[in-house]
Amino acid sequence: MPSESYIMSIDVGTQSTRAVVLNPAGQIIANERLISEPYYSLQPGWAEVKAESVWENVCQVTRRLADQMGEDIQKIKACGVTANRDNIVALDEDSNCIRDWLTWLDKRTTDQAIDDLVKTFTPPEKIIYLARKSFFDSVISRSKFNWFKYNEAETHQRAKRYCTMSGLLTQKLTGKFHDSVGMQSGILPFEAKKFRYYEWDFIYKILGVRREQLADKLFQSGEIMGYVTEEAADASGLPRGLPIVATGGDKQCEALGSGALSENEAVISYGTMAVISLISKKYLQSGNLTFYTFPSTLPEHWNLEFDLYTGYWLVSWFCKHYALEQDYPEFLKQMNREAADIPPGSNGVFVYPYWASQPELYPCARGSIIGLTDRHQKANIFRALLEGVAYSLKDGLNLLQKNSKEKVKKIYVVGGGSNSDVAMQITADVFNIPCIRLKHKEVCAIGAAIPAGVAVGIYENFGEAVSALVEEKDVFAPIEQNVKVYNDIYDSIYDQLYKKNEPIFRLLRKYEK
């Protein structure tokens, strides 16, 4: 394929929508980004996004890209599509959205569905249910489809289809209800071990959805799902006939875009949600969902993930409440400067980072700031927030290593938090593992472009693509005296805090309005 061939990716995140074009050597040719309208919440724990905003935002960034590139847009040979996961929208028989998106941040539940469903179980179904009652109760209650059934009966009845964000974009671009296997785990009846939807009626029954309401066909990363239609070309500015390639969810694409191809390499994503993940050649599952297993963007592999739902959202929360009239970016720079001069342990301030509970691991946990005295200032709390997030992800890595039987030797750090030298050094010291920052900031977009390049033969395989597109920039080595401090705090405070304070956390929930 000629050297002027380009590859492209579309990345729909929580905070923005991006479209990136690269040449085969990894140089960014064009890059457009649109800040997304924040989710809205009609009730505590709810999180919705306007139905049409996802496709409209994509069309805005791709049209800008087309304007920027001119005739060179015809050099794009394939486009990978990724998005944040665990979002659902209902479509009617004309493929129009019936209501707004329920997003991954949405925590609504439908406990009534549990008792009602149990009454309908056949004797064999009841035996299966009772064998893992707590697991099935959680699945039933947290199903977005069951919520529609009990709270929006009209939506549930009218829904011809349900789509993930990448599934909707693929349908809009190609006219086909196709999707990536990497977008299915979590809320859908998907058998991650076999990369397919379940063939077991019981799963559809407890989730409240039918097989024909889901994607017609699922694709492994690097497979072409369809081609841009004339209608989509007019709306998006993309070339008609452009191949649309399956990738994976945003976190799997970040993992591939970091260059992690070995089971001894972990990836930390410091975004709204903080995630630590490992790649695995074998399928592993947490019976109590303390970690999640997703199909990897590297075909025939899986990503094991531990999530902290309020990861670097905590930094945004802190800045919102403490920056006052100060400019947000300047305040953040100031906090990083001041935090760099504060010793490990934040002069005795400790943050327990569970502003949202970790339902499978610490169901009653509440965010806590402990140890404040009259000598402490904003920067002490700021540094303690970064340390608290790192403790939680270390907790997660211990779980992943125990299950995978692998020992991590280096960690790639991506996301907004990787821009902070303080956060990078804290991470290296808390984990006692070298941490690597990459040259490119658009790690997820690059991770989604890699399968596109492989699909059309620009790269022979995924390893070749990673070598061409991914470049390390900085390595943060653990500092021995800092490691000792953080090990002591992790063992003596973080690891003990939940079990010693669970009764208090439970009591506090009683007064939550």
* Beta pairing class for 350-352 and 368-370: antiparallel
Place of tokens 């599952």: 285
Q: What is the CA radius of gyration of the chain?
A: 23
Asked whether the beta carbons of 476 and 427 are under 8 A apart, the reply is yes
Which range among 241-250, 315-324, 470-479 shows the weakest confidence by mean pLDDT? 315-324
| Cα 287 to Cα 137: distance, rounded to the nearest angstrom | 13
Q: Rounded to the nearest 5 degrees, what angle is found at the Cα of 349, between the Cα atoms of 344 and 353?
A: 95
Reported as a single tens digit per residue, the pLDDT across 407-435 is: 999 999 999 999 999 999 999 999 999 99
| Cα 242 to Cα 232: distance, rounded to the nearest angstrom | 10
Domains, the chain: 6-106+158-246 (3.30.420.40), 313-394+481-510 (3.30.420.40)
Q: Pick the residue with more confidence: 449 or 105?
A: 449
- Residue 496, both tokens: 């003990």
| Cα 454 to Cα 41: distance, rounded to the nearest angstrom | 40
State the greatest distance between any 2 C-alpha atoms of the chain, in Å, as a whole number. 66
Range 245-255 average pLDDT:
96
Length of the chain measured in residues: 513
- What are 411's strand-pairing partners? 266, 435
DSSP, collapsed to helix, strand or coil, labels residue 369 as strand
| Cα 253 to Cα 271: distance, rounded to the nearest angstrom | 14
| Cα 319 to Cα 327: distance, rounded to the nearest angstrom | 10
Confidence of residue 135 (pLDDT cuts 50, 70, 90): confident
Confidence of residue 3 (pLDDT cuts 50, 70, 90): low
Asked whether the beta carbons of 165 and 54 are under 8 A apart, the reply is yes
Which range among 242-256, 261-275, 291-305, 318-332 shows the weakest confidence by mean pLDDT? 318-332
Q: What is the mean pLDDT of the chain?
A: 95
pLDDT at 1 over 50: no
What lies within 8 Å, CB to CB, of 455 at 6+ separation is 78, 222, 223, 224, 243, 245
Reported as a single tens digit per residue, the pLDDT across 304-317 is: 999 998 999 999 99
What lies within 8 Å, CB to CB, of 80 at 6+ separation is 7, 8, 9, 10, 245, 246, 247, 253, 448, 449, 450, 451, 452
The one-character DSSP state at 39 is P
| Cα 29 to Cα 60: distance, rounded to the nearest angstrom | 18
Q: Is the alpha carbon torsion for 112, 115, 121, 126 positive or negative?
A: positive
What lies within 8 Å, CB to CB, of 374 at 6+ separation is none
pLDDT at 258 over 70: yes
| Cα 17 to Cα 142: distance, rounded to the nearest angstrom | 27
| Cα 53 to Cα 15: distance, rounded to the nearest angstrom | 12
| Cα 158 to Cα 11: distance, rounded to the nearest angstrom | 29
- Residue 451, both tokens: 């399968």
Quick one: which of 338, 365, 377 has its CA closest to 502?
A: 365
- How high is the pLDDT of residue 306? 96
Reported as a single tens digit per residue, the pLDDT across 38-86 is: 899 999 889 999 999 999 999 999 999 999 999 999 999 999 999 999 9
| Cα 272 to Cα 14: distance, rounded to the nearest angstrom | 8
Reported as a single tens digit per residue, the pLDDT across 142-184 is: 999 999 999 999 999 999 999 999 999 999 999 999 999 999 9
Quick one: which of 170, 309, 184, 322 has its CA closest to 246?
A: 170
**How many Cβ atoms sit within 10 Å of the Cβ of residue 172?**
21
pLDDT at 200 over 90: yes
- How high is the pLDDT of residue 7? 98
pLDDT at 325 over 80: no
